[in-house]
Structure 1
Amino acid sequence: MRGSSAKSLDATLAAVSAVPGASAAQVGAELFGIVEALDSAVAARRVLTDPSIEADGKRTLAAGIFDGKVSQDALAVLQAAVGGRWAAGRDLTDGLEIAGVAAFTRAADEAGRGDELENELFEAGRVIHQSDELRQVVSDKTVPVAAKTTLLQDVFGGKVSESTLSLLGQAAVGRSGSFERVLEAFSRQVAAREDRLVAVARVAYDLDDAERQRLTDALSRRYGRAIQLNTVVDPSVIGGIAVSVGDEVVDATMSTRLEAARRRIAG
């Protein structure tokens, strides 16, 4: 987000930071519910983002709609959001969705499970990506969100935290793109809580702790930031490693070298 929307998002996230850690997960779930409600209430969303209406009036309207339906902590975040200026009506609900992810991230950090949340999102994303049937269902816009949520609960319930399940369910809504694209955005946001970058390493075998640490340290030196390293074991790489950080990919796998040599020989 840029301009007025970016400033309003900062104010909204600051309100999330003021939420007690013990209730942050509940606030995250409530914010996702508010997003769903406002996505389907176009007229209300337009009023709440109308720059000609005073901020106090929009806060009063937001309270009239949601007071008694969500906690006071969630309502405070909502009122911080509607009190700002958003370049487009959609930016408000996008910002509230980001705030919901931030609330779940805060809850995980307060419980000392921030890294666990990060890892669970990555591993769940891998499982879904590797299953054509599962990926098709969660990405299908014609499948009701409730059905997707039930499916995700059946697959991951008891294996990941409730916060992870909530984020997976929200990604399945697909408000801003495909399931995988939204989940990747959520994962980046969770990782960024400590100004970290996410690196995905594709390797021929599972790295041991010492190898993971050496690779993490090397990437941290290269990018000048802390690194959250996720690994994908792929025997087809034969040897070496391919690392992607954002849009940058460094491919030093043996399979790639062999293919390059084959092409040179073939002319």
Structure 2
Amino acid sequence: MRGEASRIADRVSRDSLAPKLRATGEDAWRIGNELFTITNVLDHHVQLERALTDPSRPVEDKVAVLKELIGSTAHPMTMEIMTDLAGRKWSRAQHIANAVEDFGVDAMMYYADATGTTLQVSIELAELHSALLNLPVVRSKLHDESAPAQARIQLLHNVLGNTGFNKVTMRLAEHATCNPRNRRYLETIQWLINKFSRHMGESMITVTTAAPLNIEQIKKLTAVYTAKLNHPVHINSVVDPTVIGGMRIQVGDEVTDNTVIAQLQKLHRSVQASA
């Protein structure tokens, strides 16, 4: 939980700089990557976080620290964002890293907007989430910080194989495992899905079935969930032959699993319990 001061600092900073960040177009890719790197550095250097959030320290001193941290090769927008954040009040020192990460995700969304791939990325994130639901061992390894970050990234690439995911999807998926930030892997992916859905003004409804949904099924699900949630929704159809039949529907963190495989597993547990 962030304190009130941190929530205000994060929101006001992002709202005020959003037009400039959006206007960077395809440069937002570079900015997002730089901000993710800075997030990782801050997470592993508490004293640096304190230096940038100390209210008794002049802003000029903080800017000097930032220049030493970022160097002269960073994008000017990256420096502007960090300078703005360093000049605000924070409830706790570590909250500034949360804000930097938020800006990093924003940058990736603006890059996706600039390249016309926002919907594609949101769908691919939902597909990744769906694919990992039944892989608890893999999920555990993806956020296991006792393993080297590069090893976790390699595992992610091995799992994804030749999916052909957009580079924004891949970068976000890598960030989730490279720097878990005390979150479980699927928790981070769901957080990203929610951010993209809000960005597009829609909710993502992921429906997993053994065979592709037809147009009439998609229309019916769209109508049902638009009425239920009282705002536009996007149906992300994921095909998984192992579910055999039925549907698994995920809305945010809520999963309704009426697949045949889920019913068989439930029956199996019931038989074991009564044996």
TM-score using structure 1 length: 0.83
2:81 to 38, 56, 77: 77
Could you say if the C-alpha distance between residues 249 and 63 of structure 1 is closer, same or farther in structure 2, counting changes exceeding 3 Å? same
1:94-134 residue CA offsets vs partner (Å, 9 max, x unmatched): 11112111111110011110011111112223334444564
SS at match of 2:90: coil
Could you say if the C-alpha distance between residues 254 and 158 of structure 1 is closer, same or farther in structure 2, counting changes exceeding 3 Å? closer
Q: 2:261, 2:190 → 1: CA distance? A: 26
1:154-193 matches, within 5 Å, as: 154=158, 155-156=160-161, 159-172=164-177, 173-193=179-199
Runs of 5+ consecutive residues of structure 1 not aligned to the other structure: none
Partner of 2:9: 8
1:87-106 matches, within 5 Å, as: 87-106=91-110
1:10-59 residue CA offsets vs partner (Å, 9 max, x unmatched): 23423254121110011111001101111222111112112233444423
Could you say if the C-alpha distance between residues 255 and 157 of structure 1 is closer, same or farther in structure 2, counting changes exceeding 3 Å? closer
Paired amino acid for 1:181: E
Structure 2 residue 145 is matched with structure 1 residue 141: yes
SS at match of 1:170: helix
Residue 145 of structure 1: how far off its partner (Å): 0.8
1:228-243 matches, within 5 Å, as: 228-233=234-239, 241-243=247-249
Residue 245 of structure 1: how far off its partner (Å): 2.1
Q: 2:260, 2:142 → 1: CA distance? A: 34
Q: 1:241, 1:107 → 2: CA distance? A: 33
CA contact under 8 A between 1:243 and 1:249: conserved in structure 2? yes
Paired amino acid for 2:4: G
Structure 2 residue 25 is matched with structure 1 residue 44: no
CA contact under 8 A between 2:66 and 2:82: conserved in structure 1? yes
1:210-236 residue CA offsets vs partner (Å, 9 max, x unmatched): 321321122112211121323344668
Partner of 1:116: 120
Higher mean displacement: 57-66 or 168-177: 57-66
Paired amino acid for 1:5: S
Paired amino acid for 1:216: T
Higher mean displacement: 76-85 or 247-256: 247-256
CA contact under 8 A between 1:11 and 1:80: conserved in structure 2? no
1:45-93 residue CA offsets vs partner (Å, 9 max, x unmatched): 1121122334444234323321314221211111122222221122111
Paired amino acid for 1:124: L
Q: 1:116, 1:88 → 2: CA distance? A: 36
Paired amino acid for 1:210: E
Runs of 5+ consecutive residues of structure 2 not aligned to the other structure: none
CA contact under 8 A between 2:5 and 2:90: conserved in structure 1? yes
1:121-132 matches, within 5 Å, as: 121-131=125-135
CA contact under 8 A between 1:56 and 1:83: conserved in structure 2? no
Count of aligned positions: 262
Partner of 1:219: 225
Q: 2:222, 2:190 → 1: CA distance? A: 20
Percent identity of equivalent pairs: 23
Higher mean displacement: 122-131 or 76-85: 122-131
Residue 250 of structure 1: how far off its partner (Å): 5.3
Partner of 1:107: 111
Q: 1:118, 1:215 → 2: CA distance? A: 18
Higher mean displacement: 170-179 or 127-136: 127-136
